[in-house]
Structure 1
Amino acid sequence: MLLYKLWRSFVKEILLLKRDIGGIVIIFVMPLLLIVTITLIQDSTFKNLEGSKIPIIFIDNDRSEVSKNIKHELEASKTFQLLTNYNEKSAQDAVFSGDYQMAIVIPQNLTKDLNANIDSKVQTIVSSFGLEGDSAKVKKAAPKAKEIHLYFDPATNAGFKNSVMNSVNKMVFEIENKKIYKAFQEQLGTEENLEENKNLISFKEITPKKGAMEVMPNSVQHNVPAWTLFAIFFIVVPLSINLVKEKSQGTSVRARISPTPYFVHILGKTFTYLIICIIQFLLMVAVGIYLFPYMDLPAFDVSGKMLQLLVVTLFSGLAAIGFGVLLGTIADTQEQSAPFGATSVVVLAAIGGIWVPVFLMPEFMQAVAKFSPMNWGLNAYYDIILRNSGITGIAKELALLFAFYIAMVAISIFYERKQNAV
């Protein structure tokens, strides 16, 4: 008998959804548009940075060894197109007005002063060891350190600034090291080839492997789970609106006076919207697998992971449904439920790491993110897709998502009974 009531509740939800075909289309179409647009933007931005050069102003007031080395390194990076027909004042004006991203100004006598500075310091060190070195040289006061001026467009991304400054610092540091080493050779009279002295320590990135192939994370692997989760939680809006409609149309009154317990109506909604969540997930995966390769994007690889991803989708759907039920139970009008539901989903997405990675957030917000159900679902998706975890590896996230659903539904039932108590 209970199963029959549950079935009738499920049929009722389907009939309600059929009355709002436009809303259902939005639920399915909007996430698809988001995932395609965001992934294309991120991937094309990466390719543009990789395949085209950023024009920057390069002013060489030194015109000697060090400045030529810096210029050579910048050109060899294949990232920058150097513009040289500027002086420092015109370069500053061009950059600060937004015409160019940045300008690099090499000061006069940089090579000469750097050599004098290094010679002075090397002679002091050699003398401290009791070695004569080139004793004929007269010690002079070391010149002051030179400054390479970097001008950035005020609208330039902070990450780009830091990347360029680190690159310039690295180039100068390597040039200084080579000159110091060469100065010691001259002082000590050795003839070792400087080119043979390579770095003793280097870096090698170790990536996960699938068989003999390395698995390289890409924009698709990040965007498909992220926007699938956003789509799943966006069902909060139509679900809460339907609950409010039931109040205004008297459906909830008939449900209360019927012999069917209220939790059966909640279960009916849960099963109905879980089906929608599964359809959303399958559509997103289909776009990742079949459409993205035609758009010159990497294909979304779900081989051997589909069952685990479906499990995460089910539990994430439960959390979203629980939140929608609570919102629809508490709200009195559609004007309350619709904007609050949409806004709260965007806020949960921002906190949960959909828009900005959690590790880039302030420490306080990183702590807040741990309480977002979207963050639990996103971590579970990433654990499966990027970290090759199994169901046991995401048990904590699944438990949190299910507990969130139970808590939301329990609060909704308690609130509904209190509101309608005689």
Structure 2
Amino acid sequence: MFRLWSTIIKDLRILTRDKVGLTLMFLMPVVLTIVITSVQNGTFEMVNNNKVAIILDNRDADTSASASRELVKTIEDAGMFTIAERGPYKNEQEVRDQMYKKEILVAVVIPPTYSRDVMARAQSVARKALKDISGENNTASGEGDSLAPLQLLYHPTLQLSFRRSIEGALGSVLQVVQSKYIVKSLYKAINEENIPDSVESQIVGQQTEIIPVAVSRDGNRGNPNATQHNIPAWTVFAMFFIVISLGSSIVREKRSGSFLRLRTLPTHFGVAMVSKQITYILITLLQAVVIFGLGIFLFPHIGLPALILPGDITALVLVTLLCGWCATSFAICVGVYANTQEQANGFGAVSIVLLAAIGGLLVPSFAMPEGFRYIMKLSPLHWCMEAYYGLFLEGGKLGDILMNIIPLLVITLAFQVVAWWGLKRKRLV
């Protein structure tokens, strides 16, 4: 026990001299966590809370008609848009210039024949419906079957997913306006009088309410925010970046002959390896404490959502220990096979970024191509993330994340075996 303790003290002293390694292990993930969480939180707020500023160019030639005015009102009432600029503009180029001048990402152009087309479409549908009811042959012409499309101008930097959301919202708005005029035409054709406002609101205005609820295992999780996503992700990233320090340390000891000298001493080589693992697992635990503390205490003071810890703290500690052990095992494996510190640092840094990318840390797993979803399961960072997300986002307990812990444990043991085989192959043990 004394030998193990002495070796741990030695490894801690070596670690404290590695200023660059300590910076990468603590300062880098802290900066990444704050910056990326702030950026993503701004995106979440823009999508969930803020309205999209648009330019509305109403070119409807029939200014006395109410269809285009009804469309503008419905767009304003939709809750997603705010009309920052209104037309009419002379041409499309003037709209484009205004978008760049005002830094507005979206513009909607209402065609000149919009009101006329909507009215014709409503009357055509009403005639067809009445003929079907009366049993007459449907000999109506195709007049009113087509509508001139609205033009949606968007800035090239607007992401496809966000543009699809805007298109869907505008499609719903158009459907509401067209349905309203169809109902009016049908009512007037049947009753030979205009539809009362009370009846119109009952038919068109009353829609089924949608209540979004985040599904969690404990039933106590609210809607996930940027903090709940990013704190676990960058904690795992920080843990695995100990490969820079630990990998270089093992290479230095190999090149200096420390491993060979250990064979001449009355101690087992395994003591040195266990010492390094204990030392760096403690470092990973400290990293987790620092980043979690950042989310709990600092984030509320800088306008970010506070981190909510899982209900099962025992499971959280166990997952953190396993993630730290896996990161340490990977770093030892890299250090054993690298011949120089440059190789350990270069391969270690690049491999962690690649494993993070295919593991779902940089890109969500559901957004990956089908083929990558199988490769993703080979990344230890994927299983670390899934275990953390099962606790932080789903509100699960230890039993709920066992299927994520078991693959992580298998990968960790594989790293241990590969590292030990490398030491034997190089005759260092």
Fold match, TM over 0.5? yes
Residue type matched to 1:160 in 2? F
One-letter code aligned to 1:121:
V
Mapped to 1, the partners of 2:310 and 2:387 lie a distance apart of 17
Find out whether 1:118 has 2:122 as its counterpart.
yes
Structure 1 partner of 2:200: 194
Contact 2:114 2:147 in 1 (8 A): no
Label 1:397 to 1:263 Cα distance change in 2 as closer, same or farther (>3 A).
Answer: farther
What amino acid maps onto 1:170 in structure 2?
S
User: Where does residue 42 of structure 1 map in the other structure?
Assistant: 40
| Partner-residue secondary structure (3-state), 2:401 | helix
In structure 2, the CA distance between the partners of 1:111 and 1:59, relative to structure 1 (3 Å rule), is: same
> Per the alignment, do residues 269 and 212 of structure 1 end up closer, same or farther by CA in structure 2, a change over 3 Å counting?
closer
Shift of 1:97: 6.2
For residues 319 and 428 of structure 2, the distance between their equivalents in structure 1, rounded to whole angstroms, comes to 37
Residues in 2 aligned to 1:302 and 1:141: alpha-carbon distance in whole angstroms: 62
Distance 1:183 1:214 in 2: 47
| Match in the other structure for 2:180 | 178
Which of 369, 376, 393 is the equivalent residue of 2:400? 393
Opposite residue 204 of structure 1, the aligned amino acid is I
Q: How does 1:11-410 map to 2 (within 5 A)?
A: 11-47=9-45, 54-62=52-60, 63=63, 64-76=65-77, 77=79, 79-85=81-87, 86-91=89-94, 93-94=96-97, 99-130=103-134, 141-143=142-144, 144-189=146-191, 193-197=199-203, 198-199=205-206, 201-207=208-214, 215-302=222-309, 304-410=311-417
Q: Is the 8 A contact 1:243 1:328 kept in 2?
A: yes
**What is the letter of the counterpart of residue 101 of structure 1?**
L
Partner-residue secondary structure (3-state), 1:56 = strand
Change (3 A) 1:301 1:139: closer
Distance (whole Å) between structure 2 residues aligned to residue 368 and residue 202 of structure 1: 41
CA distance in 2, matches of 1:419, 1:211: 51
Counterpart contact for 1:59–1:88, Cα < 8 Å: no
Q: In 2 relative to 1, CA 141–79 (structure 1 residues): closer, same or farther, beyond 3 Å?
A: closer
Which one-letter code corresponds to 1:74 in the other structure? I
Q: Is the 8 A contact 2:216 2:396 kept in 1?
A: no
- Whole-angstrom CA distance in 1 between matches of 2:391 and 2:252: 39
Q: Mark the CA change 1:286 to 1:411 in structure 2 (over 3 Å): closer, same or farther.
A: same
The percent of aligned pairs where both chains have the same amino acid is 29
**Residue type of the partner of 2:92?**
K
One-letter amino acid matched to 1:73: T
Q: Do the aligned residues in 1 keep the contact of 2:56 with 2:86 (CA within 8 Å)?
A: yes
Deviations 1:292-339 (A, max 9, x none): 111122221226333221111100011111111111011101111101
Equivalences, count = 417
Aligned-pair CA distance for 1:239: 0.8
CA distance in 2: counterparts of 1:20 and 1:110, whole angstroms: 70
Kindly report which structure 2 residues correspond to 1:405-420, keeping only aligned pairs within 5 A, or say none: 405-420=412-427
Shift of 1:23: 2.2
- DSSP 3-state at the match of 1:382: helix
CA shift, 1:140, in A, is 5.2
- After TM superposition, give the deviation of residue 265 of structure 1 in Å: 2.2
User: Could you list the per-position Cα deviations for residues 324-371 of structure 1 after superposition, in whole angstroms to 9, with x for gaps in the alignment?
Assistant: 111101110111110111111111112222222111222222222222
For residues 53 and 170 of structure 1, do their structure 2 counterparts lie closer, same or farther at Cα, with a shift above 3 Å needed? Answer: closer
Q: Secondary structure at the match of 2:147?
A: coil
Q: CA deviation at 1:78?
A: 5.9
Give the CA deviation at 1:28: 1.3
Q: CA deviation at 1:279?
A: 0.5
Structure 1 contact 59–87 (Cα < 8 Å) conserved = no
Give yes or no for contact 2:225–2:305 (8 Å, CA) kept in 1. Answer: yes
- Cα distance change of structure 1 residues 261 and 79 upon mapping to structure 2, 3 Å threshold: farther
CA positional deviation for 1:205: 1.9
Which amino acid in structure 1 is aligned with residue 402 of structure 2?
A
| Residues 1:95 and 1:272: Cα distance change in structure 2 (over 3 Å) | farther
Q: Choose 300-309 or 114-123, whichever is displaced more.
A: 300-309
Could you tell me whether the CA contact under 8 Å between 1:102 and 1:150 is conserved in 2? yes
Read off the aligned partner of 2:32 and give its amino acid letter. Answer: L
Find the aligned partners of 1:110 and 1:204 in 2 and give their Cα distance: 33
Matching residue's letter, 2:132: S
What is the CA–CA distance in structure 1 between the aligned matches of 2:298 and 2:270, rounded to whole Å? 41
Residues 52 and 401 (structure 1), Cα distance of their counterparts in 2 relative to 1, 3 Å cut: closer
Q: Contact between 1:220 and 1:299, CA under 8 Å: does it hold in 2?
A: yes
State which drifts further: 317-326 or 70-79. Answer: 70-79
Gaps of 5+ in 2: none
Does structure 2 retain, via aligned residues, the 8 Å contact 1:231–1:280? yes
TM-score (norm 1): 0.90
Letter of the 1:215 partner, please give it.
Answer: G
Q: Measure the CA separation in 2 of the matches of 1:121 and 1:51.
A: 38
Q: Report the CA distance between 1:49 and its aligned residue.
A: 5.9
Q: Is the 8 A contact 1:229 1:378 kept in 2?
A: yes
In structure 2, do the counterparts of structure 1 residues 169 and 297 end up closer, same or farther at CA, with 3 Å as the change threshold? same
Gaps of 5+ in 1: none
| Gap change, CA 1:179 and 1:158, over 3 Å in 2 | same
